[in-house]
């Protein structure tokens, strides 16, 4: 099979459409979060992931788990945590059971900002999907994203 066979061409077109949809969504959400809350998409995602931690068994994430969740390298995630810590949105502390481990929690200021930014994020996401719905090549992907959101909500 070569890259010019119809199945490979269709696969490449599907991948391209997914990339286009991702870029449109991320761009729209980025602009809205920056304008309304001085947050990047990555910062919002980090706050969102860390806000779901709890004090029970396995409730705190290690840095590599956080990096995977926000789709960044571990070093980029550490730099992002440092920036948000400097802004007073995150705090770090030693793991009480393993002195080598460091946990990161969202501060009250971080939780407040996250609560304020969630509606902006949601509205920008909805606008981006509604706009993408008008493009026939993107429509199946928009429907897939919406179906995934519906499944998670139930």
Domain that holds residue 66: 15-153
The domain tally of the chain equals: 1
The DSSP secondary structure of 24-51, one letter per residue, reads: HHHHHHHHHHHHHHS--HHHHHHHHHHH
∠ at Cα 71 (33, 123), nearest 5°?
25
**At a CB cut-off of 8 Å and minimum separation 6, what does 76 contact?**
67
Question: pLDDT by residue for the chain (154 residues), tens digit each?
Answer: 555 677 668 888 889 999 999 999 999 999 999 999 999 999 999 999 999 987 777 778 888 889 999 999 999 999 999 999 999 999 988 877 777 778 899 999 999 999 999 999 999 999 999 999 999 999 999 999 999 988 777 6
What's the DSSP call for residue 81? H
Question: Domain containing 80 — which CATH number?
Answer: 1.10.10.10
Is residue 141, in this structure, part of any structural domain at all?
A: yes
CA distance 96 to 83: 24
Is residue 144, in this structure, part of any structural domain at all?
A: yes
- Please state whether the predicted TM-score (pTM) of the whole model is above 0.95: no
């Amino acid at each position: 099979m070569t890259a010019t066979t119809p199945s490979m061409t269709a696969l490449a077109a599907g991948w391209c459409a997914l990339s286009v949809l991702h870029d449109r969504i991320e761009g729209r959400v980025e602009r809205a979060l920056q304008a309304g809350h001085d947050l990047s998409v990555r910062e919002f995602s980090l706050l969102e992931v860390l806000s779901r931690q709890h004090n029970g068994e396995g409730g705190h994430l290690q840095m590599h788990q956080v990096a995977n969740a926000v789709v960044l390298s571990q070093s980029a995630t550490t730099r992002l945590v440092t920036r948000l810590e400097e802004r007073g949105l995150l705090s770090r502390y030693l793991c009480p059971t393993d002195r080598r481990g460091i946990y990161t929690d969202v501060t009250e200021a971080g939780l407040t900002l996250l609560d304020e930014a969630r509606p902006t994020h949601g509205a920008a996401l909805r606008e981006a999907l509604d706009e993408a719905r008008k493009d026939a090549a993107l429509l199946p992907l928009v429907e897939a994203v919406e179906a995934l959101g519906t499944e998670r909500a139930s």
